[in-house]
Amino acid sequence: MDKFNQIDVTHCMDSLEGLKQMPSDFVDCCVTSPPYYGLRDYGVDGQIGLEKSPMDYINRLTEVFMEVFRVLKPDGTLWLVIGDSYAGGNKGAARYPDNAKKWKQGTNKGTVGNRTAYKYVTDCKDKDLIGIPWMMAFALRERGWYLRQDIIWHKRNPMPESVTDRCTKAHEYIFLMSKSSTYYFDSEAITEPAKTKPIVGNCTAHRYGGNKYTKDKDVFFRTKSENAYDNKGKRNKRDVWSVSTSREKGLHFATFPEQLITPCILAGCPKEGIVLDPFMGSGTTAMVARKYQRHFVGFELNPDYIDIINKKTQVTPYLFV
Ligand SMILES: C[S@@+](CC[C@H](N)C(=O)[O-])C[C@H]1O[C@@H](n2cnc3c(N)ncnc32)[C@H](O)[C@@H]1O
């Protein structure tokens, strides 16, 4: 049995190289956060994120996600967490690749200086928001992915910024993408409490000027037949998720908050299914997958993270048959 048929394992290698060796239609969903463009130096040769231009970065990631497309089952989904970057000057020094060699595991301090890479951006002026998430989403849509939703991760505790000419950035995108037009999505598994109790009433069209909603959009009147669809005080999950950034210190500095990816895994992968993360980092995807009786497969280029992942997941890899 080939090692790329294994599950509950994180392969220490370049994700594109590894994905190419995986069987087609193998995993149920993919939950991942690739390195952001020009933001961090993970200290390993071959890492993604330090390309000379945003297009180079997008093209490289597109290659990876087209392999993800192949290994995903036909009803599978991709949950892609991706942040934006600003085009900056060339005042500081990214110092890549010297920096990468110096910061072997030390990416906790590895923020890339003033992003030398951006000097190659031709269509962005200094200070422009590049629009990386949407560039990525459109590139994947063009290649066949269904772009189903842009979920906003509202960060309750964003990184403070010293800017005074714009607001502090407090969100990132989670793109929900699918391989087919219909796909596995367990909406019941991620319902949220309805904010206000539904009020059962008669048709209120005449009472509210033809609109059955009151001024408070969360309070609404329903006819008895509509009430039959009420899910016991629960409602369909909304597309803005307020989650604090991870407080995990000292391991890896771009760790997913567990709470952020739990709904992705619960809605996107059936029990005993397989969740893929091609950029495993400290292993949050693997840990959450195991917590909810799902399996995982991952790739991570930096060998220093593999021990962390193994400690977090505490599983023995076994062969998938
Ligand atoms: C944003 S972090 C992922 C963090 C992860 N979600 C977590 O919860 O810890 C991106 C990871 O991708 C890894 N990486 C960068 N280039 C890679 C490549 N070509 N193949 C595999 N992993 C890579 C980096 O070492 C880094 O750990």
Q: Structural domain boundaries of the chain?
A: 3-190+236-313, 192-235
Query: Distance between CA 133 and CA 137 in Å, rounded?
Result: 6
The pLDDT value recorded for residue 55 is: 93
The pLDDT value recorded for residue 271 is: 98
For residue 218, how far is its CA from the centre of ligand 1 (angstroms)?
Answer: 40
19 has pLDDT over 90:
yes
Cis check for the bond before 97: say yes or no (omega within 30 of 0).
yes
- Measured from the CB, is residue 256 less than 6 Å from ligand 1? yes
Percent of the chain at pLDDT above 70? 73
218 has pLDDT over 80:
no
Highest mean pLDDT among 96-100, 149-153, 195-199, 228-232: 149-153
The pLDDT value recorded for residue 199 is: 53
In the structure, what pLDDT confidence band is assigned to residue 196 with cuts at 50, 70 and 90? low
For residue 55, the SS3 value is helix
More confident site: 250 or 233: 233
The pLDDT value recorded for residue 61 is: 98
For residue 75, how far is its CA from the centre of ligand 1 (angstroms)?
Answer: 25
For residue 282, how far is its CA from the centre of ligand 1 (angstroms)?
Answer: 8
In the structure, what pLDDT confidence band is assigned to residue 319 with cuts at 50, 70 and 90? very low
Tell the residue number behind the tokens 């989403």, with chain if given.
137
The residue whose CA is least distant from atom 20 of ligand 1 is: 14
Taking residues 218-244, report their average pLDDT.
71
The pLDDT value recorded for residue 311 is: 84
The pLDDT value recorded for residue 249 is: 59
DSSP 119-180: GG-SS--TT-B--HHHHHHHHHHHTT-EEEEEEEEEESSPPP---SSSPPP-EEEEEEEESS
- Which CATH entry fits the domain spanning 3-190+236-313: 3.40.640.10, 3.50.4.10, 3.40.50.150, 3.30.70.2340? 3.40.50.150
For residue 176, the SS3 value is strand
The two three-digit tokens of residue 234, written as one number? 């629960």
Q: Which of 125, 116, 95 is nearest to 37 (CA)?
A: 116
- Measured from the CB, is residue 14 less than 6 Å from ligand 1? yes
- Alpha-helix runs per DSSP H in 72-229: 98-102, 132-142, 224-227
Taking residues 247-265, report their average pLDDT.
82
The residue whose CA is least distant from atom 15 of ligand 1 is: 47
Taking residues 67-89, report their average pLDDT.
93
- Measured from the CB, is residue 178 less than 6 Å from ligand 1? no
- Measured from the CB, is residue 26 less than 6 Å from ligand 1? no
Taking residues 309-314, report their average pLDDT.
84
- Measured from the CB, is residue 28 less than 6 Å from ligand 1? no
- Measured from the CB, is residue 241 less than 6 Å from ligand 1? no
The pLDDT value recorded for residue 99 is: 42
Taking residues 259-270, report their average pLDDT.
98
Q: What is the pLDDT of residues 28-63, one digit of tens each?
A: 999 999 999 988 888 899 999 999 889 999 999 999
